[in-house]
Amino acid sequence: MDLIRKMSGKKQVTKQKYKEAEEDMKIQKLLEERQKSSNRRELERYMKEAEEEKIKEALDKIRHDKTSESWSGKNSLMNQKMNILNNDRTILMEKNIFLDNQQKVPITNRGMFFKW
């Protein structure tokens, strides 16, 4: 029981230190913002927006390249130009065992296991 209390106590101490550090950072940031002029703050906001836009465009380009590579890369299925209807596959030439040759109706419609 003491071990559990010690562990939870350590967690509480860590959480408390984290909150204090977070508050210190918040106060420091507020002080820096108040020392700047309004024009400077506005300029920094626009610069930050432009930087975020560049990052977003770069990510979009990377995502597009990855997607197009998966569709048209050298190892993709689309690039191999496989045709499933080629005659080199013998299974396509086999007789259909599920089709009744006399009536051209699948056996499943007539009752495969039971007679009605």
User: How many residues does the structure list for the chain?
Assistant: 116
8 A C-beta contact, residue 76 and residue 70: yes
* Residue 22, both tokens: 């977070």
In a domain, 108, yes or no: no
List pLDDT tens digits, range 54-88.
Answer: 999 999 999 998 887 776 766 665 555 555 555 56
In a domain, 42, yes or no: no
Which one-letter amino acid corresponds to residue 3? L
In a domain, 16, yes or no: yes
E strands present in 1-116: 99-100, 105-106
Q: What is the pLDDT of residue 39?
A: 92
Res. 109 pLDDT band, cuts 50 70 90:
low
d(CA 86, CA 71): 22
In a domain, 18, yes or no: yes
d(CA 60, CA 85): 38
Indicate if the pLDDT at residue 114 is higher than 60.
no
Question: Residue 23 sits in which domain range?
Answer: 1-35
Q: How far is CA 68 from CA 16, 74, 81, 116, in A?
A: 48, 11, 16, 56
Say what the pTM is.
Answer: 0.44
Q: What is the pLDDT of residue 101?
A: 59
Which one-letter amino acid corresponds to residue 32? E
In a domain, 23, yes or no: yes
Total of domains in the chain: 1
Q: What is the pLDDT of residue 49?
A: 97
In a domain, 94, yes or no: no
List pLDDT tens digits, range 8-25.
Answer: 888 889 999 999 999 999
Query: Which of the 8 DSSP states describes residue 106?
Result: E
In a domain, 4, yes or no: yes
In a domain, 5, yes or no: yes
CB atoms within 10 A of CB 107: 13
